[in-house]
């Protein structure tokens, strides 16, 4: 009778299993991986086929096939055939999903980027964003879905400011912040490269780069991806690592020994950046509790681990937290990075050549704060000149997301329901009453059953509930996940300035559209004038971490983008 399996050879990274037809017994001993990429070779000419890494599926433990009886071997053969079939099904599904995603991304890019860029002539006496909002609503026939305005001129202004203030630092836009195809494509045209966290973000970038460059050859596209993308997520799914490798992405970030081992297995030709942890207590969204290694671990463990796996360590990365407002955090991170550069040279003879200073750059300077983009840029430039004085030896990159995406975008929401609720008395604490918050249940509209004699009567103004077509399951998820402070202004109506209240105005509560009572955007708003059904609210600086994480919960649509450029008129 024929036997079914025999062992193949080993490479430095992979043990391969080949399928041969031999007499009665197996040659070789133990293996750790099944060959699962092809059907059984049926001819001797196919014996030398070597599967790639992703064409493997793991055994639970090594085994010695020479000890199996023919009956046991038959069972193992059936197991292998099942594994092969399951792997084929999995790969077909993955390929189908990848194709669908790429087609959808390409279609979205074509629709958003090539077909609709509106040119708006803004009268000199008008607020540009307010005026453009009116034009967008007229163009879209006042839709029931929320509208996100994207000002391409402001996007250009942000890039110009970056190049003026940080001329040595190459921006790699953080796609996760806002993956809108028009925004990504415009940034590419302005000279940005890209920080991607997943293979799907890489595919979006690839579709845009391919369309822009007209590159039909896969090798040419891979070269572009190699130079224009950093895979900066320190914790990567194996399938995403394989996808990055196949797309040509070479620059990867790691912050642990296990991640380094994973990269060595799936992407052994990667260029590695070791990520340092930072002091980021003042950041809008701290990250070092989850990502980054200490200076000591980076020098004593990660460098050695990478060397042991034969990986090419090219530099250091860090991230001071999204929306950082502490210059001292940035200063310490740069000093620590210099120490890693020196340790790599003295201990391992490595000449590191890439410094990734991460993100954290604010999208809009906070009023009254001494920390501005300009002041932070001054510190960065000074430290780079001191710690990394030779630009020919060290390439400096960064991962700005909020900086580019925040200010070019403004959200238009529509009021589709108004409900005025009056309460005679309150059992709320003094602080709640002073804020103008009703004591009634927000879901049933009922008032307190507690008597005024028990708690002391407190007259409250009426509460006006406004229901908007966007909420915390949509763009306003930024309130929960990004700790943003949002501020509505009425479209084409007078209102108090930001940060002020007016007791003479109605007290508003702004709700989102879903059936969840938690879907509340703002409470106790008194700067708005009387608002009616069909009126609109404008929310500026809404491009960062808003639509990127929006969902269609309850079947409600996420915002549609309306992209524009402006010219001023003399009247």
Q: For residue 242, give both structure tokens.
A: 């394989």
Q: Is 515 one of the catalytic residues?
A: yes
Task: Report the alpha-carbon distance of residue 156 to residue 169 in Å, rounded.
Answer: 17
Q: Identify the H or E element spanning 355.
A: strand 354-356
- The CA radius of gyration of the chain, in Å to the nearest whole number, is 29
Q: For residue 351, give both structure tokens.
A: 């000449």
Distances in Å between the Cα of 110 and the Cα atoms of 107, 130, 178, 208, 465 are 5, 28, 17, 9, 40
536-540/409-421 β-pairing: antiparallel
Strand partners, 119: 565
Q: What is the 3-state secondary structure (H, E, C) of 464-489?
A: EEEEECCCCCCCCHHHHHCCCCCCEE
Task: Report the alpha-carbon distance of residue 77 to residue 2 in Å, rounded.
Answer: 12
HSE-CB for 400 with a 13 A CA cutoff: 25
Is residue 565 within 8 Å of residue 408, measured between CB atoms?
no
Q: Identify the H or E element spanning 68.
A: none
Task: Report the alpha-carbon distance of residue 106 to residue 103 in Å, rounded.
Answer: 5
State the catalytic residue, choosing from 196, 285, 515, 563.
515
Task: Report the alpha-carbon distance of residue 155 to residue 29 in Å, rounded.
Answer: 62
Is residue 139 within 8 Å of residue 119, measured between CB atoms?
no
Tracing tokens 């106790």 back to the chain, one arrives at: 524
Angle subtended at Cα 446 by Cα 445 and Cα 451, rounded to the nearest 5 degrees: 150
**383: nearest Cα among 166, 106, 131, 212:** 166
Q: For residue 16, give both structure tokens.
A: 């391969």
Task: Report the alpha-carbon distance of residue 249 to residue 460 in Å, rounded.
Answer: 61
147-151/409-421 β-pairing: antiparallel
List phi, psi (to 5°) of 563: -95, 140
Task: Report the alpha-carbon distance of residue 503 to residue 506 in Å, rounded.
Answer: 7
Q: Identify the H or E element spanning 96.
A: helix 70-109
Active site residues: 515
């Amino acid at each position: 009778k024929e036997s079914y399996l025999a062992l193949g050879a080993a490479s430095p990274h992979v043990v391969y299993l080949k399928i041969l037809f031999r007499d009665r017994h197996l040659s070789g001993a133990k293996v750790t991986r099944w060959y699962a990429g092809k059907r059984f070779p049926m001819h001797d000419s196919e014996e030398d086929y070597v599967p790639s890494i992703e064409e493997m599926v793991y055994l639970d433990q090594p085994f010695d096939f020479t000890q199996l009886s023919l009956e046991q071997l038959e069972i193992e053969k059936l197991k292998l055939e099942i594994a092969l079939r399951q792997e084929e099904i999995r790969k077909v599904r993955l390929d189908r999903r990848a194709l669908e995603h790429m087609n959808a991304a390409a279609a979205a890019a074509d629709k958003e980027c090539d077909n609709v860029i509106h040119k708006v002539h803004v009268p000199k006496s008008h607020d540009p964003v307010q005026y453009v909002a009116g034009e967008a609503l007229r163009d879209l026939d006042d839709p029931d879905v929320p509208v996100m305005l994207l000002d391409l001129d402001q996007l250009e202004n942000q890039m110009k400011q970056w190049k003026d203030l940080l001329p040595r630092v190459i921006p790699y836009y953080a796609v996760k912040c806002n993956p809108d195809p028009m925004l990504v494509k415009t940034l590419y045209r302005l000279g940005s490269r890209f920080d991607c966290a997943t293979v799907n973000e890489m595919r979006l970038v690839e579709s845009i780069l391919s369309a822009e460059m007209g590159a039909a050859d896969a090798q040419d596209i891979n070269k572009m991806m190699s130079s224009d993308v950093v895979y900066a997520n320190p914790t990567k799914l194996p399938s995403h690592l394989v996808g990055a490798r196949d797309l040509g992405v070479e620059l990867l970030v790691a912050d642990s020994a296990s991640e380094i081992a994973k990269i060595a297995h799936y992407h052994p030709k990667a260029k590695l950046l070791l990520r340092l942890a930072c002091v980021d207590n003042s950041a809008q969204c701290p990250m070092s509790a989850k990502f980054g290694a200490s200076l000591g671990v980076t020098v004593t463990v990660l460098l050695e681990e990478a060397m042991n796996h034969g990986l090419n360590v090219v530099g250091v990365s860090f991230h001071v937290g999204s929306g950082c407002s502490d210059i001292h955090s940035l200063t310490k991170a740069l000093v620590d990075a210099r120490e890693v550069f020196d340790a790599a040279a003295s201990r391992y003879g490595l000449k590191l050549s890439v410094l990734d200073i991460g993100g954290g750059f604010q999208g809009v300077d906070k009023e009254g704060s001494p920390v501005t983009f300009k002041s932070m840029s001054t510190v960065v430039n000074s430290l780079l000149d001191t710690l990394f004085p030779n630009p020919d030896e060290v390439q400096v990159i960064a991962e700005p997301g909020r900086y580019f995406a925040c200010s070019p975008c403004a959200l238009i929401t529509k009021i589709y329901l108004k409900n005025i609720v009056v309460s005679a008395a309150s059992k709320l604490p003094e602080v709640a009453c002073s804020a103008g918050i009703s004591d009634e249940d927000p879901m049933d509209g009922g008032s307190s059953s507690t008597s005024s004699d028990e708690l002391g009567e407190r007259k409250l103004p009426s509460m006006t509930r406004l229901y908007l077509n966007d909420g915390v399951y949509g763009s306003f998820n930024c309130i929960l996940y990004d700790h943003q402070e949002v501020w509505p202004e009425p479209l084409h109506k007078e209102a108090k300035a930001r940060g002020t209240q007016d007791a003479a105005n109605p007290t508003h509560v702004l709700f989102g559209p879903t059936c969840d009572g938690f879907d509340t955007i703002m409470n106790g708003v008194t700067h708005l004038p009387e608002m009616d059904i069909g009126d609109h609210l404008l929310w500026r600086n809404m491009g960062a971490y808003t639509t990127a994480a929006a969902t269609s919960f309850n079947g409600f649509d996420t915002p549609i983008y309306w992209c524009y450029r402006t010219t001023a008129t003399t009247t």
